[in-house]
Amino acid sequence: MKELAQLTKAIIECTELKKIQDIVRDALDRGAKPMEIVDAVTKGLDRVGDLYERGEYFLMELTIAGSTASDIMAMIKPVLESSAIPVRGKVVIGTVLGDFHNIGKDIVIAMLESAGFDVINLGVDVSTERFLSAVKETKPHVLAMSGLLTIVVDEMKKVIDALKRDGLRDAVKVMIGGRAVSYKFANEIGADGFGVTAVDAVRLVKKWVEGK
């Protein structure tokens, strides 16, 4: 669909928000699925990230692209959510300490909620203590951590070690994701699962909570 390609291009070119919102509306009107919009936005952000890494884009472009992406996610969230499904299980999620990226985490949340899970969002820059107290207070089935910056992913290990220290490790499944982490890293730090995408997150939580 041409609107999806236009959307990716508009994110890369940091086009004005109003024009991008029009493209998203057109795409939805023409039957685009919310996940296709998410994919088109993600492709654009990936390219912006590459250009930043190569020194062709600066923090300003990262900021514009990130803020536009957040606005688009807010636009499509109501389409993603379906309230008819009964609550299936509880997930606590946050982006680890030192990391302020929230777009991917919020997509994971929207997908989990639309699949019927109760999600407690701790936000970004979440400390080990905050993750731990949320696990103690809310007793979730799954603790999910997101990390995009390579320099902060060791925070995930700290959380898992603290769960072990407090005798809580067997009470909760731990899932990690975000572009700074990998399947190998998840194994190394003793997480129960790793997901590349928000769809993986839903698949893992369903498997753990419902045995599916």
The separation between the first and the last C-alpha atoms of the chain, rounded to the nearest angstrom, is 33
Pairwise CA distance, residues 32 & 114, whole Å: 17
Q: Is 54 in the site for ligand B12 (CB under 6 A)?
A: no
Q: Is 195 in the site for ligand B12 (CB under 6 A)?
A: yes
Query: Of 11-19, 78-86, 114-122, 140-148, which segment contacts ligand B12 by CB under 6 A?
Result: 140-148
Q: What token pair was written down for 59?
A: 């923090």
CB-count burial class (<10 Å; 0-12, 13-18, 19+) for 144: buried
Pairwise CA distance, residues 152 & 120, whole Å: 22
Pairwise CA distance, residues 78 & 138, whole Å: 26
Residues 1-40 that bind ligand B12 (CB under 6 A): none
Q: Is 59 in the site for ligand B12 (CB under 6 A)?
A: yes
Query: Of 4-12, 112-120, 160-168, 178-186, which segment contacts ligand B12 by CB under 6 A?
Result: 178-186
Q: Which is nearer to ligand B12, 59 or 87 (CB)?
A: 59
Q: In the complex, what is the shortest distance from the CB of residue 37 to ligand B12, in angstroms, rounded to a whole number?
A: 11
Nearest to 155 by CA among 190, 128, 182, 186: 128
Q: Which is nearer to ligand B12, 78 or 123 (CB)?
A: 123
Pairwise CA distance, residues 87 & 16, whole Å: 38
Interface pattern 65-104 for ligand B12 (x via CB under 6 A): xx--xx---------------------------xxxxxxx
3-state helix, strand, coil in the chain (%, to 5): 60, 10, 30
Q: Is 174 in the site for ligand B12 (CB under 6 A)?
A: no
Q: In the complex, what is the shortest distance from the CB of residue 17 to ligand B12, in angstroms, rounded to a whole number?
A: 14
Pairwise CA distance, residues 206 & 104, whole Å: 19
Instruction: Identify the residue among 32, 108, 135, 160 touching ligand B12 (CB under 6 A).
Output: 108
**Interface residues toward ligand B12, by CB under 6 A:** 42, 45-46, 48-49, 52-53, 59, 62-63, 65-66, 69-70, 98-105, 107-108, 144, 146, 148-150, 175-180, 195, 197-198, 200-201
